[in-house]
Structure 1
Amino acid sequence: MDNEPARSVRVLTPTGMLGAGFPEATVERGLELGADVIAVDGGSTDSGPYYLGASQPKTTRAAVARDLRVLLKAAARAGIPLIVGSCGTSGTDNGVDWVSEIVADIQADEGLSLPVARIYSEQDADRLKEQLTAGRIHPLPPLGDLQPDTLDSCTHIVGMMGHEPIVAAIEAGAQVVLAGRATDTAVAAAYPLMKGMPAGPTWHASKIVECGGQCTSDPRAGGVLATIDTDGFTIEPLDPTAACTPILVAAHMLYETVNPFRMREPDGTLDVSEATYTALDDRTVRVEGSRFHVADQHTVKLEGARVTGYETMSFSAVRDPHILAQIDDWADLLRAVLTQRVEQTLGLGEDKYAFDVRLYGHNAVLEQADPAQGPPREVGVMLLVNAPDQETATAVAKIANPLMLHLPTADMHYLPSLAFATSPAEIERGPAYEFVLNHAVDTTTPTDMFRIEIEETPRHG
């Protein structure tokens, strides 16, 4: 892991997210092909704000430990770095420590002694308010100017690091890097950039490999190996039966990007508008022409979540054809009657709580944009109540209980019987969260918002 210039760097990405699983044989093949680094993302905001707000992982410990055991043994055997980004799903300090404890247990079990770096990315609200006062925090669309009380309301705030803190950790002697919140691409880009690979091909390759095998003909078969050099990069699946094609590789620039040709990183912008994608054979693709424009100001994106209230959920199913023929009217009636009864029973106006009725099987996902025509065959009715406290949320849901079980339409002459999915019907979900930060901080240095701790002797127990 010296810093001598390299002619190429091979990045092994075993899966799109740590804990998602992968065939162990694909990692072995990556080592046989000469992998120089193993890079894997450990988190995401795809599943909503709860994981950041509560600082909880979405993956089970057993799944993360299984993947890490394979990867740690591979990194030790090959003498190469292992980099994990956005530990614990959201990259909070607790998430980094959670993954670090798993690593320590595995190292003890397997007799390994790889030096570990922990990079913490949580941010202090008071420190950020100083940055805000200094004019160093700017909104990203669609949000407006940040207010200080928004920072105070967050249960957790993280800064999204680029490659620089990861490089600093490796240069300080770490072979295993456990990073807090990081851009998905920084995890794969750090080592090639450290070894002198050009920024254009490196960032582009890192974008393509961020989701493991998603850029292949069989995303379930395992990850990919990207070989980055001074002129471009080559990418191939780790499973010999899977294939990369120019269309599959190019299409990944459409994934989670506002512009399929440009993507912003903390230190600049990737530009693939002139990139070419060439099939070298029936399963390997060569990409050239990627460029990177260095920004005048290095920035770090902030993510923060806060509690919006407490939720209780109920779910019933409608199979009655008379109701289904006018399901929208029935849902409107449910809303109106529930609002009236909550006022009568609890004395609560609509400003004291909120609820949502979602009709799964009929417009729940696309709403009015759904092209489906005609009445549905069956519909699942989800009621989601949000209130300042759990007791109130559950009380509202309980008032809705008989309505979700027996509410007839205005023209029905019998009492229908619907079907609850659970007993009791009311499921208390606890605190609900929302994302409230989409802002960038002008940094003094690329690493000054992050804290790096190197552990030469792994902790055991």
Structure 2
Amino acid sequence: MSVPAAAVRVLTPTGMLGAGFAQSTVDRGLALGADVISVDAGSTDSGPHYLGSGTAKTTAAAVARDLRMLLRASAQARIPLIVGSCGTSGTDSGVEWVAGVVDDVLREENLGLSVATIRSEQRADFINERLREGAVHPLAPAAALDEATVDSCTHVVGMMGHEPIEEALRAGADVVLAGRATDTAVAAAFPLMMGMPPGPTWHAAKIVECGGQCTTNPRTGGVLTTIDHTGFTIEPLDPDAACTPISVAAHMLYETVNPFRMREPAGELDVTESTYTALDARRVRVEGSRFHPAEQHTIKLEGARITGYETMSFTAIRDEHILAHVEDWTELFVKVFTDRVAQTLGLDSTDYDFDLRRYGYDAVLQTLDPAGRPPREIGVMLLVRAATQELATAVAKVANPLMLHLPTPDMAYLPSLAFATSPAETERGPVYEFVLNHVVDTRTPTEMFRIDHRKAPSHA
């Protein structure tokens, strides 16, 4: 490790573990000389439920399928495999869930790979202690944090940079299963450990974070990036796809506040001077990327808490008259519904909350949806939230006859609408919200994370 490598090749087979990819993707990456396999396994894209509940959005069978191919490749090529944000949100339970799948595959495949797990879940008392020390700061638009908010979270994770992953690799791990991590840290850790410069490394890691999304055909598989001391070269692993200067440069627009700068725990990536050059019809060369180390290393906190319990009901409307006067129908629904809840259950707006979404009309864009002719049909989804599941369901049931037969004010007959399910009410359980968007000043880059080196499972 004392002499920097001339280049490091990072194989990223997919943007999300469990999303699936072809065996040919991995085979081609190994044939091109991959030095490490990196794959992200988590995201906050699907909302706070997975962090709040500590469960995964992916099914175990899909994760096992992907891991089987990757673990075989790691053993065959004798290169590390790094998985970040295990179990979707990177909770301790998510890491253990993925580690259990890995243990099963290693045993079944008779693979003697060593595994390190990195836990990123944070204790409330630790965060509150750092809060009292003035070491916790809000990120816009969040407000200053208080201890009650921290205590209300069911799970809190810290988003690690590359340093804990590098520590696990240096200790000899063949497979690193990390808790919550930046998408880029998963791909950057090994090249940085091997002496690659931070500018090209962090930029390359950002481009490959979503696998083939930086190619002309994101559905066809992953990418291989070769990082050296002056830049990086990226190419798709599907022969029918291509990387172009536009497809590569455009990925800096994805999930960033500023397309030229991106903050990591250790500093800031700066691509204002980067150049993107097509080497041929499929490969792109990037140079000029820089990385500015931060004066203070920070770790971002993510936390979720229960805000209530939710019950859902869904009906469909094809009555032409209602569709032509859907605003009048909605206004009447809200009035009749709230009046009946007050009359039958004795509740007011402080006791429950509800949302009425009209799919096919304005459910997605709401007031931004351009006006047009009436749709042929719309789906109406009612979401009721209350302090208990029983109360949410009771309120939703008050709406049942309205979602089946409510006419517009000028109709002389009762229309028949169509429930999507029977029973019409579906209990969705606890509903969570994100409440932490803050960073912690760290004393060391690894102090908030716990690394455990596991023995290889005995073979069947």
TM above 0.5, yes or no, is: yes
The secondary structure found in structure 1 opposite 2:243 is coil
C-alpha displacement at 1:459, in angstroms? Answer: 6.3
| More deviation, 331-340/403-412 | 331-340
C-alpha displacement at 1:457, in angstroms? Answer: 2.8
Determine the C-alpha separation between the residues in 2 that align with 1:371 and 1:196: 53
Q: Counterparts of 1:36-115 in structure 2 under 5 Å?
A: 36-115=35-114
The secondary structure found in structure 2 opposite 1:204 is helix
The answer to whether the aligner puts 1:198 opposite 2:197 as a matched pair is: yes
Give the structure 1 partner of residue 417 of structure 2. Answer: 418
Give the structure 1 partner of residue 331 of structure 2. Answer: 332
Quick one: which amino acid aligns to residue 277 of structure 1?
A: Y
Quick one: which amino acid aligns to residue 127 of structure 2?
A: L
Q: Counterparts of 1:23-422 in structure 2 under 5 Å?
A: 23-422=22-421
Contact in 1 for aligned 2:274/2:287 (Cα 8 Å): yes
The secondary structure found in structure 1 opposite 2:150 is helix
Quick one: which amino acid aligns to residue 278 of structure 1?
A: T
Determine the C-alpha separation between the residues in 2 that align with 1:46 and 1:127: 27
Q: Deviations over 1:106-158 (max 9, x none)?
A: 00000011010000000000110000000000000111100110000000000
- 4+ residue runs of structure 1 moved beyond 6 angstroms? none
How many residues are paired up?
Answer: 460
Q: Deviations over 1:290-346 (max 9, x none)?
A: 111100000000000000000000000010111111112211211111111000000
C-alpha displacement at 1:39, in angstroms? Answer: 0.1
Determine the C-alpha separation between the residues in 2 that align with 1:275 and 1:199: 14
The secondary structure found in structure 1 opposite 2:314 is strand
Determine the C-alpha separation between the residues in 2 that align with 1:68 and 1:219: 20
Rate the CA distance shift 1:460–1:55 in 2: closer, same or farther, 3 A: farther
CA RMSD of aligned residues (A): 0.9
Q: Deviations over 1:252-273 (max 9, x none)?
A: 0000001100000001000111
Contact in 2 for aligned 1:92/1:120 (Cα 8 Å): yes
Contact in 2 for aligned 1:116/1:458 (Cα 8 Å): no
Contact in 2 for aligned 1:104/1:460 (Cα 8 Å): no
C-alpha displacement at 1:289, in angstroms? Answer: 0.6
Rate the CA distance shift 1:421–1:374 in 2: closer, same or farther, 3 A: same
Determine the C-alpha separation between the residues in 1 that align with 2:355 and 2:113: 50
C-alpha displacement at 1:371, in angstroms? Answer: 2.0
The secondary structure found in structure 2 opposite 1:158 is strand
C-alpha displacement at 1:179, in angstroms? Answer: 0.1
Contact in 2 for aligned 1:3/1:194 (Cα 8 Å): no
The secondary structure found in structure 1 opposite 2:84 is strand
Determine the C-alpha separation between the residues in 2 that align with 1:49 and 1:4: 44
Contact in 2 for aligned 1:119/1:177 (Cα 8 Å): yes
Determine the C-alpha separation between the residues in 1 that align with 2:266 and 2:457: 32
| More deviation, 293-302/371-380 | 371-380
The secondary structure found in structure 2 opposite 1:391 is helix
Contact in 2 for aligned 1:11/1:36 (Cα 8 Å): yes
Q: Deviations over 1:15-71 (max 9, x none)?
A: 000000001111000000000000000000000000000000000000000000000
Determine the C-alpha separation between the residues in 2 that align with 1:41 and 1:65: 14
Determine the C-alpha separation between the residues in 2 that align with 1:193 and 1:372: 52
Contact in 2 for aligned 1:266/1:299 (Cα 8 Å): yes
Quick one: which amino acid aligns to residue 402 of structure 1?
A: P
Contact in 1 for aligned 2:110/2:459 (Cα 8 Å): no
Structure 2's unaligned 5+ residue stretches are none
